[in-house]
């Protein structure tokens, strides 16, 4: 999102960035693999999205990676947040 400032090193970003993430996930009907530069950012984004979205949000570290990937693949409304290492496992 070129119209937003670059995310900071701590957390998932500012309110405008979280609004953008939520809007994109809603537009996609879930089915989002959100990759972040740190686990701290992924967890913060997941925590921010869960109460805002009607679709499930999983985060790397919530369960074993294989179990998370299985849940993500089984339900097209589910979003999964994590780091680059998660993407390599998917």
Q: Give the residue numbers spanning the domain of 52.
A: 29-89
Residue 72 lies in a domain: yes
Cβ contact 50:57 at 8 Å: yes
- % the chain with pLDDT above 70: 91
- Give the chain's domain count: 1
Positive or negative: CA dihedral 3, 86, 82, 39: negative
pLDDT tens per residue, range 15-53 = 888 999 999 999 999 999 999 989 999 999 999 999 999
The whole-model pTM stands at: 0.88
Q: What residue has token string 């119209």?
A: 3
Residue 44 lies in a domain: yes
Longest dimension (CA), the chain: 36
Can you tell me the distance from the alpha carbon of 81 to that of 62, in angstroms, rounded to the nearest whole number?
A: 10
């Amino acid at each position: 999102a070129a119209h937003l400032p670059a995310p900071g090193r701590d957390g998932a970003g500012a309110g405008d960035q979280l609004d953008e993430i939520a809007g994109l996930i809603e537009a996609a009907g879930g089915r989002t693999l959100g990759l972040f530069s740190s686990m701290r950012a992924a967890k913060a984004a997941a925590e921010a999205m869960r109460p805002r979205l009607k679709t499930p949000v999983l985060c790397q570290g919530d369960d074993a990676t294989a179990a998370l990937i299985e849940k993500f693949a089984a339900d097209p409304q589910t979003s999964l947040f994590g780091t680059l290492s998660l993407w390599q496992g998917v």
